[in-house]
Every structure is written in C-alpha cells, then in structure tokens.
Amino acid sequence: MIFFEKLKPKFWDYRDVAAGPFKHLFNFRRLWALAVALTSLVALIPLISITLIDYRVTQKSVESEVLLRTARLVSNTWRPVSFFLTERRSALDFVVRDNSYNSLRDPKRLSAILENLKQGFGGFVDLGVIDSTGRQKNYAGPYKLEGIDYSNQGWFKDVINKGVNVSDVFMGFRRTPHIIIAVRYDLPNASFYVLRATIDTDRFNELLAHLEVSGQGDSFLINKDGFLQTPSRDYGKVLDRIPLRVPAFSPKTRVYEEVYPDNKQLVIGYAYIHDTPFILMIVKQKNELMKPWQKTRFQLIGFLIASIAIIVFVVLSVATYLVNRILIADQKRIMTLHEVEYSNKMASIGRLAAGVAHEINNPLAVINEKIGLIKDLFTIKDEFKGNRKLIELVDSALSSVDRCGTITKRLLNFARHLDVKIQMVNIGEVIGDVLGFLSKEAEYRSIAVSINVSGDIPQFESDRGKLQQIFLNIVNNAFAAVKDGGSIDITAKREGADLISVTFTDDGCGIPGSDLERIFEPFFSTKTKQGGTGLGLSITYSLVQELGGILVVHSEVGRGSSFIVTIPLKMEKKEKKTDEGVAGR
C-alpha cells in the first residue's frame, strides 16, 4: 500500500473542483484506465493471437513429426521381419522343388539339407516331412519327433488349404516358443506332402531387441488375437495377452494415438506382415516423444509472458506519462485563465477605486472649501475668533475631510500602480500602501504589525503593481493565519549587492510539513470548503518569478510561518505580455 502511495501518479486523486457539470471530462483516472485498456487490447490481442496460432502450428508440426517418425520406424522394422520369414519360406519352397519326396524321406539327406539351411540362412531348428495323412515321415533335428501325427493341428489343416503356412508362436511338443513354416508340395499322383521347418524365435527377438525406439518405446510382434509373439518390455512375455486393442487390418503401415485408463497417451505404429499371422507393433509414450515440444512450449510461453509484461509496463508508463502531461497542460491552461481573470479582477478593482475616489473627491473638495471658508471667516474676519468651540468643530470637520482625502488618495495610488510597468520603487512605500488597507482590521483584531525596512535599501527598478499584489496576498494570508492579538513582522533588508529580501513572519497556526511541499502548486488549497481556489499563493509565486525573484516559505505548526520574497534590485525588461491586453490595459 505504501509502495502504491509512492508510485501513485499525480492525477490519481485529482479532482477538478472548478469543472462543475463537466467533471466527467476531467476524470483523469478514468481517462488513464481507458487509455491503458484500449492500448493494451490493441497491443496484446495480436500478440496473444499470433502466439496461440504459432503454439498450435508448432504443436501440430511436432505431433506430425512424431507420427511420421513412428510410421517410418515401423516401416523400416517391418521390412527385415517380413524378409526373414519370406526368405525362409522361399528356402523351403526351393527345397521341395529341388528334392523328390523320396529323397526328402532319406534321414541323411534331410539332415544335410537342415545343416545347409542352418548354415545358409540361420534360424532353422529342425525339418520334418509329413505325408498327406498328417504323419511325420522323416525328421531332422534335436528332438525325437518322427512318427508324430499332426493331422489335427491347425497349421496342418491350413497348409493343406493354402499351400503354405506360417504359424503363430506356440510351445508345441518342444515346450519352447517357436514358429513353424510349412509348405505343401503336390505329387503327380494327386497326393501331396508337407515340408515343415521350425524356426527359432530368438532371431525375431534379437531383431526387435536391437531396435532403438525413442520415447521409451517398445517393439514387439503380436498375432491377430493380441497375444505376444516376441517378448515385450512393457506388456509381458511371449504368449501373454497385451492390454492394447488389436489394430484393424491395413495393408499399409499405420500410426494412431490412444489414451489408456492410466491417462497414458500412447503413439502406436503397426504393420500387418503379409501372409503371416504377425502384426509388428511399435508403442511409444507420447509425453516422452513430445519432450522437445515441451521445451519449445516453455520458450513460447516465456516469450508471451515477457512480451505481455513489457507491453503492459510500456502501456502503463506511456499512459501515466501522457495523462500526467494532460493534467499539467490542463492545470497550466486553468492557471492562465485564472491569472487573466485575476488580472481582470485587479483591473476592475482599480477602475472601481479610481471611479469611487473621483466621485467622492469632488464633493469632498467642495466640503473642504466650504468648511475652509467658514474657518477663514472665523479666523480672518475676527467675527468668531474668540469662540474656540466653533473653531474646534470646524477643525474637526476639516480633519475628517483630510482623512477621507487620504483614503481616496491611497485608493488612487493603489489603482494607478496596478498597471504593468517598471519604475523606480521605494520598498517601504509599497509595504506601507499595502498595509494601509489592512490597518483598520489590524486595529480591530489587535494584531501587532511591525515594519522594519533597512536604511541601505535604495530605490530600485521593479514593477510596483506586482509588488503590491505579492505583498497584499502574503499579508492577507498572514492575517488569515494569526489569531486576534497575534503579531505580524515585516522586515526588508538588503541581500548582497543585487538583491533585497522582504520577510513576512507571523505567529499564526503554521503549515503542516506535508502541505508545505505543495503550498505553491496550483489548486492546492486547505480552504476549498471556505471557497478557496488554491490559486492565491500559486499566483503570488508566479508574480515573484515574473519579477525575477524567488519565494520561500518556512513554517512550523503552532508557531507560525515566514514567507521570504527575494527580488533583484534591477529587473530585466521583458516584452509586454499579451495577456495584459486581455486584461484591458
């Protein structure tokens, strides 16, 4: 709160009391708020829009890149897996075409072929020749499987129908995971036989295990029922069912996203391997894949926040500066208007004083002469010379006429010097003229006014009218500040070779320190409820400046105030101000 008080701009608590019905036009706080709101909107909306669009575009781009990379990986992985199976199937195809049924039934020959296949291709575990009834007629391999009947096995039925079969991974008689590739060969006697090879799944596992999948990814094969054909890091061992749905068939590589109940977002790429029951799946954690995007996102959000902060700071600063300038300009304008008004008022007072003095002076002169004649008749003609009572009465009347004459002359003197002109000024006379108007008030209120003008002050060039106004304003303030019976001390003395100072000291109520800083500001008044405009001291300050001087105030609450006017003994002549014309001079 204290921080805000320090930062609070000038206009924040400003209320133009003189604005009257147009008060709403001078609500600077509202003007500031409007300027800040509009400028911020104009500046921030495009920035936020562009940033949001960029955010979305970049996010989409990164997501597309992630999907594309996954699809490429699936495609690249699919190829060797497919090639591995196709190669071995083609090898078996070649074997049945290159060898007669009888030669394949020869155990030595079959063992030789198996050995060749192991050496040439790898992955082959055993070979078996099965006749059309499903009975294994010859077997070469590590197990004792000769004579086994496969007629009820699914793969056997499938190979009869399709001519070739690649089986799921299964445990079978060997109790180890393996797959079977079987090819049918039709004999000329309308019979057939089947050459079946067992393929070691370790080769698959190795192929997929060595695959580097980013984003904590997992790559494995499943069959069409969703059972793992190769071990998975995340979803279990061979022949476990994966918790993911089996993707729909597609002849091409596909990638899709899926959210699972644990709120894990997955990017899943898959490809069906043709003529096999296998589906190659690569599963990646989306949040891991999007990590580069997170960095970009933080940079974007950081940029947005920094930009908003800078824009808001600039908008606030500019709006505050401009509204402050408007306030100052407005105050200057009002100040000028008030100065013109004040000047006009003083001119009117001058004209009024001169008019009144003239109208009174003529009858006063007649009274003066008539009473003078009476006195002449009494004194010169000796008729009533001895009647002292009459002489005293006449003298009393003449004394009153003289008093009236003094007042009208003082009025005339004051009015004459309201004009703006530089002339030789006697500072003591100016102070005396000003105090002449307040002497009765001082008498009624028992205010002791002392004047002490130093004898070394020469007559000097200055604007007597302005000096009168300055002194009158300060003395009026002093009279307002002191209580009945108080005292006002006026001291004029020389300050060096070129300056004189006039100090007005009162023992009045004093001015609080907080008000003291603002006492010369236009419109600062503690008497607004008593009709004060807050311009008296401000105008006085301006007048002192116009004379090339300075006005300083010292004050202590409860002990009184001192206003010190320091003015040069020689005034720089300036061009006549235009507002003097306005004032009707």
Partner 1 sequence: MRVLLVDDEKELVSTLAERFSLRDIEADWVTTGEAAIKSVASKTYDIAVLDVKMPKISGIELKKKLEEINPVLKYIFITGHGSEEDFMTASSELSAEYYLVKPVNIDDLIQKMKEILINPDKRDSLQHPL
**Which residues are at the interface with partner 1 (CB under 8 A)?**
350-351, 353-355, 357-358, 360-362, 364-370, 372-373, 376-377, 380-381, 401-402, 404-405, 408-409, 411-412, 415-416, 418-419
Helices 202-209 and 28-98 meet at what angle, rounded to 10?
Answer: 150
Q: Which is nearer to partner 1, 49 or 396 (CB)?
A: 396
Query: Considering the complex, what minimum distance in angstroms separates the CB of residue 458 from partner 1?
Result: 20
Residue 78's alpha-carbon distances to 82, 158, 209, in angstroms, are 6, 24, 14
Query: Considering the complex, what minimum distance in angstroms separates the CB of residue 461 from partner 1?
Result: 18
Q: Which is nearer to partner 1, 415 or 500 (CB)?
A: 415
Q: Which is nearer to partner 1, 88 or 464 (CB)?
A: 464
Query: Considering the complex, what minimum distance in angstroms separates the CB of residue 390 from partner 1?
Result: 17
- What whole-number distance in Å separates Cα of residue 579 and Cα of residue 336? 9
Q: Which is nearer to partner 1, 58 or 368 (CB)?
A: 368
Which string of b and e fits 560-584 if b means at least 16 CB within 10 Å? bbbbbbbbbbebeeeeeeeeeeebe
Q: Which is nearer to partner 1, 203 or 410 (CB)?
A: 410
The first and second tokens of residue 568, run together, are 């040069």
| Contact between 177 and 287 (Cβ < 8 Å) | no
- What whole-number distance in Å separates Cα of residue 30 and Cα of residue 36? 10
| CA-closest candidate to residue 181, choices 165, 203, 157 | 165
Query: Considering the complex, what minimum distance in angstroms separates the CB of residue 416 from partner 1?
Result: 5
Which DSSP category does 498 fall into?
A: T
Pairing of strands 124-131, 192-200: antiparallel
Query: Considering the complex, what minimum distance in angstroms separates the CB of residue 351 from partner 1?
Result: 7
Which string of b and e fits 85-113 if b means at least 16 CB within 10 Å? bbebbebbbebbeebebeebeeeebbbeb
Query: Considering the complex, what minimum distance in angstroms separates the CB of residue 471 from partner 1?
Result: 20
Pairing of strands 499-506, 487-495: antiparallel
The number of angstroms, rounded, from the C-alpha of 213 to the middle of its chain's C-alpha atoms is 44
Q: Which is nearer to partner 1, 384 or 520 (CB)?
A: 384
- What whole-number distance in Å separates Cα of residue 13 and Cα of residue 9? 8
Q: Which is nearer to partner 1, 515 or 579 (CB)?
A: 579
Query: Considering the complex, what minimum distance in angstroms separates the CB of residue 382 from partner 1?
Result: 12
Q: Which is nearer to partner 1, 385 or 518 (CB)?
A: 385
| CA-closest candidate to residue 156, choices 174, 131, 178 | 131
CB burial of residue 247 (10 Å; 0-12, 13-18, 19+):
buried
| Contact between 239 and 227 (Cβ < 8 Å) | yes
Query: Considering the complex, what minimum distance in angstroms separates the CB of residue 546 from partner 1?
Result: 20
For the chain, the C-alpha Rg in angstroms (whole number) is: 58
* Terminal-to-terminal C-alpha distance of the chain: 52
Query: Considering the complex, what minimum distance in angstroms separates the CB of residue 362 from partner 1?
Result: 4
Q: Which residue do the tokens 């102070």 mark?
A: 431
Q: Which is nearer to partner 1, 259 or 380 (CB)?
A: 380
Query: Considering the complex, what minimum distance in angstroms separates the CB of residue 28 from partner 1?
Result: 42
Q: Which is nearer to partner 1, 408 or 501 (CB)?
A: 408
